[in-house]
Amino acid sequence: MTLAEPPVPVRYVAKNMRVDLELIAGMIAPKTRVLDIGCGDGALITHLFHTKACDARGIEIDMKQVTQAVAHGLPVMQGDADSDLAHYPDGAFDYVVLSRTLQAVGRPREVLRQMLRIGARAVVSFPNFGHWRVRWQLLARGRMPMTPTWDRMWYETPNIHPCTIRDFFELCAREGYAVERWLAADDSGRRAPWRRAPWLANLFGEQAVFLLRRQR
Amino acid sequence: MEQVLNPLAIAHQHVVFEDGLTLDGGAHLPRLVVAYRTYGTLHPSRDNAILVCHALTGDQYVAEPHPLTGKPGWWEMLVGPGKPVDTERYFVVCANVLGGCMGSSGPRSPRDEDTAELWGTDFPPITIRDMVRAQARLIAHLGIERLFAVIGGSMGGMQVLEWAATYPERVFAAIPIATAAYHSAQNIAFNEVGRQAIFADPDWAGGRYWREGRIPARGLAVARMVAHITYLSEQALTRKFGRRLRAASVLGPYSDVFEVESYLQHQGSSFVRRFDANAYLAITRAMDYFDLAADHGGEVAAAFAGTKTRFCLVSFSSDWLFPTSESRAIVRALNRVAANVSFVEIETDKGHDAFLLDEPDFHRTLRGFLDGCAQHAGLSSAGAP
């Protein structure tokens, strides 16, 4: 009898942190209070502190990354997007950021609600499952797509709630969130030139960044 | 029994506050003595002071050989030149707690200046907040308006929480390590076993053992043995001793057989040489009374409402005396008031004791957090003013 290998802890999709960070930072006003959920080693927090003088803090689920971040002097706590946001008071932050993590949380709709409860605005980035390569693979091969972005087998992917750009627009409308800004980009961060046509962005954008606001 | 050194025989650096201290229990201590040690240099701007709070059986000798035992300071790994709590950069203060037996007012200290009569069991009950108030007197005496940081583990962590709750404007950064916002029923239970062991020792003599030159060594040693088990973990005990037998041991119910037994007995007997039984009783009681929520309308969060202090909580994965869940509860309370909080659980098999041991991740965390805070506090990085 062979013993089963210990399960490899499954992490969120690899982040192209530099690209993501710049797109997100571009949506955040200077000198504001920011909470970065799933902050990894704290690259965005450092960036916001040094370039925009923000009071930026982070939550990260992976203890190694948390230790790394705190050891670099960053205010980061170990915690979980699904369970730890409920403890913050209303309106504690100007921005709550969820970078390429929405597709991996247990209850994305609840996480978004919490984000817009504790923050005046939410910045959400996610990889777009509506990209043409994903669609083509499913159509042509009849199997779950494997792309540079969606690179884990269906049985071991942490990305349990993938969505498309159009799905996300629809959820925002349903939940009553105002989309203040949005953009689609390829994985190297080049902004897609289809800013006024969500259906084109949904076909050619590899990732999307949304700036949402609580409706008054 | 081995020869017992008299802790009174040592002159500890101290300050006397003749106006005394009014305690949480309502009693007034007529004369307050706070014994302390300092390391490093206070900047002329007085902004680089770090207060280290010691645990139940610790003392002010953080970073130098202990005057009784000759052993290295209990946190020498963390505090010193170039260490995470860098004494070339920070001015580090550590005071013997109120109720302690290393020079501060406590059961082992004289009732007043003139008589040789000791407080003994007449020493009034004290709380963690009383300890913190006594430290606050010392800090003011040293001319420090705001502490750059307050750091402590276990009962020291309770003091850190109390500092941040009682004097929020005087604490820039708070680092409670391996601690909780209240003492749990299980922890009170372990303390009670220790106390009963002391009471049961005929040499305790109703608490007046010092009058007859006796010491409840058996009782205090058993108290220490029980407590010591709670500081370790099952894995650590197994790793250190397993089921190994003592060399040349006679098998039988009335003799020491296993290595772990002689280890614990050694812990007990060496403790008796440096600690006072009545002080042990007074301090364990203070820990048992500690309940931050109860003091703030049932909500830990209320203790920190509006706080500007930056917090860093650290717990250890195999600590079952102050488990991670207790630290996380504090973190959540701090989240409720949108406080600035970092939180790390260090992976280790060393149990509660880990906060005193060589844990590189813990030390990196502490150093980094202090660096980050120094940056936010505008503290100059050079030791020179």
Give per-residue pLDDT as tens, A58-102. Answer: 999 999 999 999 999 999 999 999 999 999 999 999 999 999 899
- Of the listed ranges A85-89, A130-134, B69-73, B245-249, the least confidently predicted one is B245-249
Q: Write the residue in B331, B332, B344 that is nearest to A70 by C-beta.
A: B344
- CB-based contact, A63 to chain B, within 8 Å: yes
Contact B361 A88 (CB under 8 A): no
CA distances from B352 to B158, B159, B258 (A): 14, 17, 23
For residue A18, what pLDDT is reported?
65
For residue B112, what pLDDT is reported?
79
Indicate the helix (H) or strand (E) that contains A51: helix A43-52
Tokens standing for B81?
């030149």
For residue B257, what pLDDT is reported?
83
Average model confidence (pLDDT) across chain A: 88
- Which residue, B179, B175, B311, is CA-closest to A76? B311
How far apart (Å, rounded) are the C-alpha atoms in residues A122 and B175? 30
For residue B10, what pLDDT is reported?
77
From chain A, the residues in CB contact with B378 under 8 A are: none
How far apart (Å, rounded) are the C-alpha atoms in residues B66 and B56? 16
How far apart (Å, rounded) are the C-alpha atoms in residues B290 and B285? 9
Task: For residue A144, count other CB atoms closer than 10 A to its CB.
Answer: 14
Tokens standing for B150?
């307050």
Q: Angle CA(B108)–CA(B114)–CA(B118) in degrees, nearest 5? A: 20
Task: For residue B96, count other CB atoms closer than 10 A to its CB.
Answer: 29
List the CATH code of the domain at A17-213: 3.40.50.150
- CB-based contact, A31 to chain B, within 8 Å: no
Contact B345 A78 (CB under 8 A): yes
- Please determine, for residue A192, whether its predicted confidence score (pLDDT) is greater than 80: no
For the residues B132-141, what does the mean pLDDT come to? Answer: 98
From chain B, the residues in CB contact with A92 under 8 A are: 338
For residue B2, what pLDDT is reported?
38
Grouping H, G, I as helix, E, B as strand and the rest as coil, residue A29 is coil
Question: Domain residues of chain B, as ranges?
Answer: 9-185+291-377, 187-284
- Which residue, B177, B178, B149, is CA-closest to B164? B149
For residue B18, what pLDDT is reported?
95
Give per-residue pLDDT as tens, B149-206. Answer: 999 999 999 999 999 999 999 999 999 999 999 999 999 999 999 999 999 999 999 9
For the residues B47-71, what does the mean pLDDT come to? Answer: 96
How far apart (Å, rounded) are the C-alpha atoms in residues A93 and B337? 12
For residue B7, what pLDDT is reported?
53
For residue B385, what pLDDT is reported?
39
φ, ψ for residue B286, nearest 5 deg: -60, -40
Residues of B annotated as part of the active site: 154, 319, 352
- Which residue, A172, A136, A186, is CA-closest to A23? A186
How far apart (Å, rounded) are the C-alpha atoms in residues B175 and B146? 15
pLDDT band at A214 (very low <50, low <70, confident <90, very high): confident
Q: Angle CA(A48)–CA(A52)–CA(A56) in degrees, nearest 5? A: 40
Q: Angle CA(B246)–CA(B240)–CA(B80) in degrees, nearest 5? A: 125
φ, ψ for residue B310, nearest 5 deg: -90, 125
Taking one residue from A and the other from B, the number of pairs with CB-CB distance under 8 angstroms is: 66
For residue B157, what pLDDT is reported?
98
**How far is the alpha carbon of A4 from chain B, nearest alpha carbon, in Å?**
24
> Could you confirm whether domain B9-185+291-377 is CATH 3.60.110.10?
no
- The alpha helices in chain B, defined as continuous H runs, are 128-141, 155-166, 185-200, 217-231, 234-240, 259-272, 277-289, 300-303, 324-336, 360-377
pLDDT band at B3 (very low <50, low <70, confident <90, very high): very low
From chain B, the residues in CB contact with A87 under 8 A are: 332, 335-336
How far apart (Å, rounded) are the C-alpha atoms in residues B167 and B94? 17
- Please determine, for residue B62, whether its predicted confidence score (pLDDT) is greater than 90: yes
For residue B384, what pLDDT is reported?
42
Give per-residue pLDDT as tens, B309-339. Answer: 999 999 999 999 999 999 999 999 999 999 9
- Please determine, for residue B272, whether its predicted confidence score (pLDDT) is greater than 50: yes
Residues whose CB is less than 8 angstroms from the CB of residue B30 and which lie 6 or more positions away in sequence, other chains included: B20, B112
Contact A74 B346 (CB under 8 A): no
Average model confidence (pLDDT) across chain B: 94
> Could you confirm whether domain B187-284 is CATH 1.10.10.10?
no
Contact A73 B373 (CB under 8 A): yes
| Percent over 70 (pLDDT), chain A | 88
- Please determine, for residue B367, whether its predicted confidence score (pLDDT) is greater than 70: yes
- Residue A153 has, within 13 A of its CA and on its CB side, a CA count of 2
| Percent over 90 (pLDDT), chain A | 76
Chain B residues with at least one Cβ partner in A under 8 Å: 310, 312-313, 331-332, 335-338, 340-347, 361, 364-365, 367-369, 371-373, 375
According to DSSP, residue B202 is labeled G
From chain B, the residues in CB contact with A78 under 8 A are: 343-345
- Of the listed ranges A143-147, B142-146, B350-354, the least confidently predicted one is A143-147
From chain B, the residues in CB contact with A56 under 8 A are: none
Give the rounded distance of the alpha carbon of B270 from its chain centre: 18
- Which residue, B156, B185, B138, is CA-closest to B288? B185
pLDDT band at B9 (very low <50, low <70, confident <90, very high): low
From chain A, the residues in CB contact with B341 under 8 A are: 57, 75, 77
According to DSSP, residue B27 is labeled -
* Mutation for A interface: B342, B345, B359, most A CBs within 10 A: B342
Contact B372 A72 (CB under 8 A): yes
- Please determine, for residue B229, whether its predicted confidence score (pLDDT) is greater than 80: yes
Residues whose CB is less than 8 angstroms from the CB of residue B65 and which lie 6 or more positions away in sequence, other chains included: B71, B72, B73
For residue B117, what pLDDT is reported?
87
How far apart (Å, rounded) are the C-alpha atoms in residues A215 and A91? 13
pLDDT band at B274 (very low <50, low <70, confident <90, very high): very high
Which residues 92-111 on chain A approach chain B with CB closer than 8 angstroms? 92-93
Give per-residue pLDDT as tens, A1-55. Answer: 344 444 433 333 334 556 778 889 999 999 999 999 999 999 999 999 999 999 9
Q: Write the residue in A66, A77, A92 that is nearest to B338 by C-beta.
A: A92
Residues whose CB is less than 8 angstroms from the CB of residue B179 and which lie 6 or more positions away in sequence, other chains included: B152, B153, B154, B155, B156, B157, B158, B160, B161, B322, B326, B327, B330
Contact B372 A74 (CB under 8 A): yes
Indicate the helix (H) or strand (E) that contains A77: strand A76-78
- Please determine, for residue A161, whether its predicted confidence score (pLDDT) is greater than 70: yes
Contact B336 A74 (CB under 8 A): no
pTM (2 d.p.): 0.92
Q: Write the residue in B310, B365, B371 that is nearest to A75 by C-beta.
A: B310
Q: If you count DSSP H runs as helices and E runs as strands, how many of each does chain A have, helices first?
A: 8, 7
For residue B61, what pLDDT is reported?
98
Task: For residue B15, count other CB atoms closer than 10 A to its CB.
Answer: 15
| Percent over 90 (pLDDT), chain B | 88
Contact B331 A77 (CB under 8 A): yes
For residue A197, what pLDDT is reported?
85
- Please determine, for residue B241, whether its predicted confidence score (pLDDT) is greater than 70: yes
